[in-house]
Amino acid sequence: METSVVIVAAGKGKRMKAGKNKIWLHLQHKPIFQHTVEAFIQHPGISEVVLVINEEDYEDMDRWRKSMPYSVILAIGGAERQDSVRNGLEALSESCTHVLIHDAARPFITAEQISGIITKLKDHQAVVVAVPVKDTIKIVGPDGTVQATPARESLWAVQTPQAFPLSLVKEAHQFALEQGKVGTDDAMLVEMLGYPVTIVDGSYENIKVTTPDDLWFGEEIMKRRSEERKRRK
Ligand SMILES: Nc1ccn([C@@H]2O[C@H](COP(=O)(O)OP(=O)(O)OP(=O)(O)O)[C@@H](O)[C@H]2O)c(=O)n1
Ligand SMILES: C[C@](O)(CO)[C@H](O)COP(=O)(O)O
């Protein structure tokens, strides 16, 4: 089993309203995407890292890459997240058999969670990191009226990484492309092929940095972790 990771960083970050792709914003003096890349680079179960970026970020990214002591493969993203993932999968080396797909905008992923998903992948077809929802969720119609309140016990908020055998996730992406289907995560495309998808426990700290308030939470998480590391030394 040779496991790689595709990290998608080719979004626009519109909800962040930073005037640039949010992955360049800093948390604890480092760009968000660099925290994410380093979580995987340092993991012994990961063989290669493909970082999917915007074409207009290429020059800056190439400069960043050359300044780092590790190797990252760059691929160019597409209009939607799904297109970026597909391009990233194409950039993986031939020896890759399994892949984790992760949002660059989730820099709080830990080594333990990466290990957990890789272990689970050994005897499951598709594995996603998720947490039980804490709020009561309501299905609301276009007129603002509540239509239903699904039982909370069965609701999970799905995060990344999501992990698959490479052949399966490539087949799912090809099927979606041909059928014009869009999934908000990669597992959804695998579900469309009828394969089971298994949950592995995530963390409420593994947030996707999406809106400006996430930067405040994120800074606190990073600060606390760095203080904990210093205390342990
Ligand atoms: N065409 C796209 C869209 C998104 N992403 C990546 O997918 C992840 C999750 O997307 P999201 O957080 O929604 O990022 P943005 O699309 O950048 O945000 P927004 O929707 O606010 O513009 C991010 O790491 C983002 O860079 C991508 O690689 N290619
Ligand atoms: C894949 C994902 O991170 C799962 O929660 C999420 O769906 C991506 O978010 P987006 O805003 O739809 O790009």
- 158 contacts 183 by C-beta, under 8 angstroms: no
Nearest to 99 by CA among 127, 76, 71: 127
Q: Are the C-beta atoms of 117 and 127 separated by less than 8 Å?
A: yes
Residues with CB under 6 A from ligand 1: 8-15, 23, 52, 77-81, 84, 103-105, 208, 210
Counting from 1 in the atom list of ligand 2, the atom nearest the Cα of 186 is 1
Q: Is the CB of 103 under 6 A from ligand 2?
A: yes
* Residue having the nearest C-alpha atom to atom 5 of ligand 2: 159
To the question of pTM greater than 0.95 for the whole model, the response is yes
Tokens of 96: 């890759």
Q: Which ligand is nearest to the CA of 16?
A: 1
Residues of the chain with pLDDT under 70: none
CB 108 within 8 A of CB 213: no
The pLDDT, as a whole number, for residue 233 is 86
- 54 contacts 78 by C-beta, under 8 angstroms: no
Q: Please tell me the number of the ligand nearest to residue 6's CA.
A: 1
H/E stretch holding 168 reads helix 166-179
Token couple for 171: 């087949």
ipTM of the complex: 0.98
Q: Are 150 and 137 within 8 A, CB to CB?
A: yes
Q: What is the pLDDT of residue 43?
A: 97
At 5-25, the pLDDT tens digits run 999 999 999 999 999 999 999
Classify 39 as helix, strand or coil: helix
Which residues are within 8 A (CB) of 214 and not within 5 positions of it... i.e. 6 or more apart? 207, 208
Spacing, Cα 2 to ligand 1 middle (Å) = 27
Atom of ligand 1 nearest to the CA of 16: 21
Model confidence pLDDT, tens digit, residues 39-70:
999 999 999 999 999 999 999 999 999 999 99
DSSP 70-106: S--EEEE--SSHHHHHHHHHHTS-TT--EEEEEETT-
Q: What's the pLDDT score for residue 130?
A: 98
